[in-house]
Structure 1
Amino acid sequence: MQNPEQFGDRVRLLRKKLHYTQKSLSEHVEIPKSTLAGYENNIRTPKFKTLEKLAEALNTSTDYLIGMSDDPQPSKPTKDLKKLLQSDNYHIDGKRLSNEDLEFAIKFLEKLVKSENTNTDNNDTEFSNEFNLKSKQ
Structure 2
Amino acid sequence: MTLGTRLRERRERFGKTQLDAARELGISNVQLSRYESDGRKPDPEMLGRFAEYYRTSADYLLGLTDDPTADTYAPPPSEGYSDFERFINDPEHGAFFKEFLNAPEESKEEMRRFWEYLQVRERGRKPGDRQGE
Q: Name the structure 2 match of 1:74.
A: 70
**Gaps in structure 2 of 5+ consecutive residues:** 76-133
Q: Give a deviation string over 1:12-58, Cα, whole Å, max 9, x none.
A: 01100100110111111111110110011110001111111111111
> Residues 72 and 39 (structure 1 numbering): CA distance in 2 closer, same or farther, change over 3 Å?
same
> Are 2:55 and 1:49 aligned?
no
Question: Whole-Å Cα distance in 1 between the matches of residues 23 and 36 of structure 2?
Answer: 15
* Displacement of 1:11: 0.5
1:95-114 to 2 correspondences below 5 Å: none
RMSD over aligned CA atoms reads: 1.8
Question: Whole-Å Cα distance in 1 between the matches of residues 65 and 53 of structure 2?
Answer: 18
1:18-97 to 2 correspondences below 5 Å: 18-76=14-72
Q: Give a deviation string over 1:75-103, Cα, whole Å, max 9, x none.
A: 55776xxxxxxxxxxxxxxxxxxxxxxxx
Q: Name the structure 2 match of 1:11.
A: 7
Report sequence identity in percent: 32
Helix, strand or coil at the partner of 1:23 = helix
Give TM-score, length-normalised by structure 2.
0.52
Give TM-score, length-normalised by structure 1.
0.51
Contact 2:11 2:17 in 1 (8 A): yes
List structure 1 segments (4+ residues) > 6 angstroms apart after TM superposition: none
Structure whose alpha-carbon radius of gyration is higher = 1
Question: Whole-Å Cα distance in 1 between the matches of residues 50 and 73 of structure 2?
Answer: 19
Q: Name the structure 1 match of 2:124.
A: none
Question: Whole-Å Cα distance in 2 between the matches of residues 39 and 32 of structure 1?
Answer: 11
